[in-house]
Amino acid sequence: MSEITSQLPWIVFIVPAGTGVLIYLVGRKSSLLRGILTAIGVIVAFGAGIAMSVSTYRGAILSAWGNELRVDALSAFMTVVIAGISLVAAGYSLKYMKLQALQDRVGPEVIERRLNWFYALFMIFVGTMLWGVVTNNVIMLYVAVEATTIASGLLVAFYWDRRGLEASYKYLMLLTVGITFALFGCVLLYSASSPHLEGVNALLISNIKGVAGLFPRSIAIMAMAFLIVGFGTKAGIAPFHPWLPDAHAEAPTPVSALLSGVMLKMAAYALARTVTIFYTDFSPVTVFLITLGAFTMVLGIAMALVQDDLKRLLAYSSVSQMGYVIMGIGFGTYLGVYGGLFHIINHAICKALLFMCVGAVIYAAGSRQISELGGLSRRMPVTSACFFIGVLGISGMPPMNGFMSKITIFMAGAQAGYWWATMIAMFTGILTLVALSHAAWAVFWGHPAKGNSRNDTKEVPAAIWSGMVVLAALTIFLGVYPQSLYPLLNAATKALAPLMH
């Protein structure tokens, strides 16, 4: 395991955040400038992520700023996921945010002013998420996660109507309380390791890992409890999830894709980094995480089944899928963690894809209520195909990527002896298929809802569906060739799984 000093760890998050600030300062002058700055931000971040993955999958560790930033294979993997989805979402948003319904609602000058804020905050949001996954400092981890909440708070309230404001209020309030619990947990980690480590080193997660076994039992339990509640709130784990459906549904679609597809995963990463240091010495935490995962899965999909609003349905499905990730990480075995991490990238791709399809439906048909839509496949063939692929991916049907990660999690459960967990996971998979196929059928096939036969619904422009097609292609590709990710995922899992059986 060689440690290399590199500039990439700070480039990957300073560049997007910097372009965000630049956009705020000069973006008002022209939307072309704004577009170029956004493109630079996400492309550089994605490039840095790929470069880091190439260096780290062989086991090297990149560090910068005196070990304050530390990128191993797991962090590099997360940067690729975050930057990749942000790249697609940013491209999607360029055309999407010009949708006519929004222009009609608030007027073009207001939109122009707000769009500048939108892109500035969007890039800062991406930058803070990337910061969270490269930082090695336990307090800065808290700061980064809180910063993502701050950056996205106004994005959730973008439409500035009753629903958006309510969603944003709940979002900011619940997440801040939650993250304060995590702060307390991080401080406990720091205070418990400072007798054993010199000064500033006690802040670094890589060092805390080494001394976790020396913590008094009571502190470890309290720290774990606070960290799970804190980062779990951010990751959408039940019962701390109530902010999620509102925020993800009311935000503009590119932001929903980022919130559901990426931010939840970043919080799960923070949870994994801080709680897995206790795995070897306090094994009951694994059972707790598995139970929490199972509960989240079932609650999420149960709520999704009764939704009429497409975006809320997808949001509850996100809650459910995060349950899979937590359960996978909770197993603590190589297979379990591999499955959890694989599911992170698969769900990120599928959920972003699904949200973008729903956005396309909103763009073309003006509604996101299932009861008001119907028969769209004839007029929107590309969107229907992409949505269908996304549904299969999320439900874990072959040959999609979701099948590969879910089956890994099922096998991990069986191998570790947690048969009840595997059964719950399989059952939830079936329910997911039911809920999402019902939505797909009602919206794209079947007959248009009564009294709502709009003849002007047509396929969305290529600028919007091109991103969807890329993600759909990835869904199929990862399902047919899951081994393509093996080198990176293998290294990432090894960075995390201490109980490898």
Partner 1 sequence: MHYNTNLISTLTLLMIFTSVLAIELKSLRTAVGAYLVQALMIVGLLFAYSVVNPPLIIWALTALATKAIITPLLLWHTIKRTGDEETPAIIGFGPSVVIATIIMLVFYKLTHQHATFLAPTSGAQDPAIRTNLAVALTVFVLGLYGILTRRDAIKTVIGLCLLENGVHLSLVSLAPTMRETALAGIATEVVITVALLLYIVTGIQEKFGSTDTFQLSELHW
Q: Which of residues 378-417 bind partner 1 (CB under 8 A)?
A: none
**Residue 296 interacting with partner 1 (CB under 8 A):** no
Measured from the CB atom, is 168 or 207 closer to partner 1? 168
Give CA–CA dist 45/128, Å, rounded.
12
Listing DSSP states for 383-409 in one string gives: HHHHHHHHHHHHHT-TTSHHHHHHHHH
Q: What is the DSSP letter of 135?
A: B
Structure tokens at 68: 């304050």
Sign of the C-alpha dihedral, residues 80, 300, 250, 158? negative
Work out the burial of residue 17: count CB atoms within 10 Å of its CB; fewer than 13 is exposed, 13-18 middle, 19 or more buried. Answer: buried
Chosen residue from 19, 79, 116, 149 binding partner 1 by CB under 8 A: 149
Chosen residue from 58, 163, 378, 501 binding partner 1 by CB under 8 A: 163
Q: Which of 313, 308, 460, 315 is nearest to 372 (CA)?
A: 308
Measured from the CB atom, is 154 or 385 closer to partner 1? 154
Sign of the C-alpha dihedral, residues 329, 343, 230, 243? negative
Per CB under 8 A, which region of 166-174, 340-348, 380-388, 452-460 contacts partner 1? 166-174
Give CA–CA dist 377/3, Å, rounded.
53
Chosen residue from 62, 133, 157, 349 binding partner 1 by CB under 8 A: 157
Measured from the CB atom, is 244 or 329 closer to partner 1? 244
**Residue 168 interacting with partner 1 (CB under 8 A):** yes
Measured from the CB atom, is 111 or 165 closer to partner 1? 165
Chosen residue from 34, 170, 265, 494 binding partner 1 by CB under 8 A: 170
Measured from the CB atom, is 160 or 486 closer to partner 1? 160
Sign of the C-alpha dihedral, residues 209, 210, 211, 212? positive
Q: Which of residues 454-483 bind partner 1 (CB under 8 A)?
A: none
How many residues touch partner 1 (CB under 8 A)? Answer: 49
Shortest Cβ 303–partner 1 spacing (Å) = 7
Contact call for residues 206 and 67 (beta carbons, < 8 A): yes
**Residue 21 interacting with partner 1 (CB under 8 A):** no
Structure tokens at 231: 């980062």
**Residue 433 interacting with partner 1 (CB under 8 A):** no
Structure tokens at 425: 């996971």
- Rounded to 10°, the helix 138-156/162-193 angle is 180
**Residue 176 interacting with partner 1 (CB under 8 A):** yes
State how far the alpha carbon of 42 is from the alpha carbons of 19, 79, 95, 187, 263, in Å: 9, 11, 17, 33, 16
Per-residue interface string for the shown chain with partner 1, residues 177-216, x marking contact by CB under 8 A: x--x--xx--xx-xxx-xx---xx--x------------x
Chosen residue from 7, 30, 110, 160 binding partner 1 by CB under 8 A: 160
Give CA–CA dist 233/240, Å, rounded.
5
**Residue 26 interacting with partner 1 (CB under 8 A):** no
Shortest Cβ 54–partner 1 spacing (Å) = 32
**Residue 136 interacting with partner 1 (CB under 8 A):** no
Per-residue interface string for the shown chain with partner 1, residues 83-112, x marking contact by CB under 8 A: ------------------------------
**Residue 228 interacting with partner 1 (CB under 8 A):** no
Per CB under 8 A, which region of 9-17, 167-175, 257-265, 468-476 contacts partner 1? 167-175
Give CA–CA dist 210/187, Å, rounded.
17
Q: Which of residues 302-321 bind partner 1 (CB under 8 A)?
A: 303, 306-307
Sheet with 3-5: strands ordered across: 3-5, 61-64, 69-71
Contact call for residues 153 and 289 (beta carbons, < 8 A): no
Chosen residue from 40, 50, 111, 222 binding partner 1 by CB under 8 A: 222
Residue with the two structure tokens 């980690």: 189
**Residue 356 interacting with partner 1 (CB under 8 A):** no
Give CA–CA dist 51/463, Å, rounded.
27
Measured from the CB atom, is 141 or 412 closer to partner 1? 141
The CB density around residue 444, as the number of other CB atoms within 10 Å, is: 23
Contact call for residues 266 and 324 (beta carbons, < 8 A): no
Per CB under 8 A, which region of 67-75, 83-91, 145-153, 337-345 contacts partner 1? 145-153
**Residue 219 interacting with partner 1 (CB under 8 A):** yes
Shortest Cβ 154–partner 1 spacing (Å) = 7
Shortest Cβ 488–partner 1 spacing (Å) = 32
Sign of the C-alpha dihedral, residues 481, 487, 492, 497? positive
**Residue 72 interacting with partner 1 (CB under 8 A):** no
Measured from the CB atom, is 167 or 258 closer to partner 1? 167
**Residue 371 interacting with partner 1 (CB under 8 A):** no
The whole-angstrom distance between residue 495's C-alpha and the CA centroid of its chain comes to 20
List contacts with partner 1 (CB under 8 A): 139-140, 142-143, 146-147, 149-150, 153-154, 157, 160-163, 165-170, 172-173, 176-177, 180, 183-184, 187-188, 190-192, 194-195, 199-200, 203, 216, 218-219, 222, 245-246, 249-250, 303, 306-307
